[in-house]
Amino acid sequence: MDAAKDAAVDPLELLRHGDLELEGRLTDASNATLRAYITLDGETARCVYKPVAGERPLWDFPDGTLAGREVAAYLVSEATGWECVPPTVLRDGPFGPGSCQLWIEEVAPPLVDFVPELPAGWHPIASARGGVLGHADEPGLAKLAAYDAVINNADRKGGHLLRAAGGHVYGIDHGICFHAEDKLRTVLWGWAGQELPGEVTGVLQLLRTGLTGDLGTELARHLTPAEVQAAASRVERLLASGRYPLPSEEWPPLPWPAL
């Protein structure tokens, strides 16, 4: 079952008010990332708790802001109607305040991978490690590619893309997004330069309105005014061009490691 869609208790209420019982640390993450059980009114689910105290300083992002950016990414996801980010809140926990996100169990093969040769229906990205880096060509990823351009995702690794039960595609790990300077680094370049689908354009028009209204107000609780304005400017550029962005020549277009 997709926990984000099938919980009996509202997922946001569960995350905000449930009791956290730590299960262990996800050691592959660069910042403190803890998996936990969360329980409310007899409902128990898994979640990921990222305390602000466990964030490693970055040279280009203000200290102590990554958890808020995770929540901001969820707010934009909800504004799109795509539900491409699992429910995420900011709350107190055993190691202080941090982001808390519903755990999504991946039930299908990777959406991005290094392979000897690409399966049918995959976009090639780059050659490396004796194989080809590529990603699946499917609507969920196409939406996420546009979403990442809006939030200025500086670290869209292949391992941050999950396909849950029922086929729904989620993106996770959005701590280094929303910088006021362009920093898009992603494995989802398969649509670069292509015309944006009508559905995506329609959602961008909604975001343009929202970013100058209620959505912008919500984001301002987690981002600086300059970062909120930069997000609005990126939406305007996407609508003006009508196309997916192209990789920049001014910074690496792929994250490292890619997966």
Say how many CA atoms lie within 13 Å of 99 toward its Cβ: 29
pLDDT exceeds 60 at position 3: no
Q: How confident is the model at residue 6 (pLDDT cuts 50, 70, 90)?
A: low
Domain region containing 91: 3-102
Instruction: Give the integer Cα–Cα distance in Å for 233 and 137.
Output: 28
Percent of the chain that is helix, strand, coil (3-state, to 5): 35, 25, 45
Q: Is residue 176 part of a domain?
A: no
Instruction: Check residue 113 and give its pLDDT.
Output: 87
- Is residue 41 in a domain? yes
For the chain, the domain total comes to 1
Q: Is residue 154 part of a domain?
A: no
Contact 252, 185 (CB under 8 A): yes
User: Measuring CA to CA, which residue among 209, 157, 164, 173 is closest to residue 74?
Assistant: 173
The pLDDT tens digits of the residues spanning 50-95 come to 999 999 988 889 999 999 999 999 999 999 999 999 999 999 999 9
What's the pLDDT tens digit per position in 134-176? 899 999 999 999 999 999 999 999 999 999 988 999 999 999 9
What is the distance between the alpha carbons of residues 70 and 114, in angstroms, rounded to a whole number? Answer: 27
CB-based burial label for 23 (10 Å; 0-12, 13-18, 19+): middle
Domain contains 56: yes
Residue 135 lies in a domain: no
Dump pLDDT digits (tens) for 31-41: 889 999 999 99
Q: Model confidence at 13, in pLDDT bands (50, 70, 90)?
A: very high
- Is residue 188 within 8 Å of residue 169, measured between CB atoms? no
Would you tell me the crossing angle of helices 225-241 and 139-151 to the nearest 10 degrees?
A: 130
In a domain, residue 9? The reply is yes
CATH number of the domain bearing residue 42: 3.30.200
Indicate whether 238 belongs to any domain: no
The angle formed by the CA atoms of residues 242, 121 and 83, to the nearest 5 degrees, is 55
pLDDT at position 121 = 87
139: preceding bond cis by omega (within 30 degrees):
no
Domain assignment present for 82 = yes
| pLDDT tens figures, 174-216 | 999 999 999 999 999 999 999 999 999 999 999 999 999 999 9
Q: Which residues contact 27 (CB under 8 A, 6 or more apart)?
A: none
Higher pLDDT, 250 or 19: 19
Please give the structure tokens belonging to residue 240.
Answer: 């003006």
